[in-house]
Amino acid sequence: MANKIDSKKGKPIAGGRKEKVYVDELLFRHVDQMERWRQEYEHQQAIEQRLAEISKFTYEEVDYIPQLERVVFEEKEIPDFSYLLEEARITEEAKFFTPILTHVGLLIVFVLLLIMTNHSILLWLSGTGVVTLLALLFMLIDKRNRSISKVMLDTEKEIKNRIEYQKKKILEERKKHEENEDERIKIIEDLLKGEVSSVLAKIENVLSNVHFYFNLCIDIELYKRVPAIKIWLPSKSLIPLQSCTLNSSGRPLYEEKNMRAINRQYLELCAGIIIKTMAVIYSHIPTFDITYVYGMSKESQGIECLFACKLDRETLIAACSGSSGLAALQKADAMFKCDTSLELLPIHDDPPEEWGKVVKQLVRSIQVNISK
CA–CA dist 326, 52 (Å, integer): 12
pLDDT single digits (tens) 98-108 = 888 887 888 78
Look at the alpha carbons of 304, 310, 313, 316 in this order and tell me if their dihedral is positive or negative. negative
CA–CA dist 198, 286 (Å, integer): 12
Quick one: average pLDDT of 192-201? 92
CA–CA dist 156, 153 (Å, integer): 5
What's residue 30's pLDDT? 62
243 pLDDT higher than 90:
no
- 356 phi-psi bin (left φ>0, alpha ψ -120 to 50, beta other): left
Quick one: average pLDDT of 334-343? 91
Q: Which has the minimum average pLDDT: 82-86, 174-178, 283-287, 303-307?
A: 82-86
pTM of the model as a whole? 0.72
CA–CA dist 109, 229 (Å, integer): 100
pLDDT single digits (tens) 6-55 = 444 444 444 555 555 555 666 667 667 777 888 888 888 888 888 888 88
What's residue 65's pLDDT? 92
What's residue 11's pLDDT? 43
243 sits in which H/E element: strand 242-246
Count CB atoms within 10 A of the CB of residue 325.
25
Quick one: average pLDDT of 92-103? 83
Q: Which residues have CB under 8 Å from 113's CB, separation 6+?
A: 122, 126, 129
**Count of CA atoms in the C-beta half-sphere (13 A) of 331:** 19
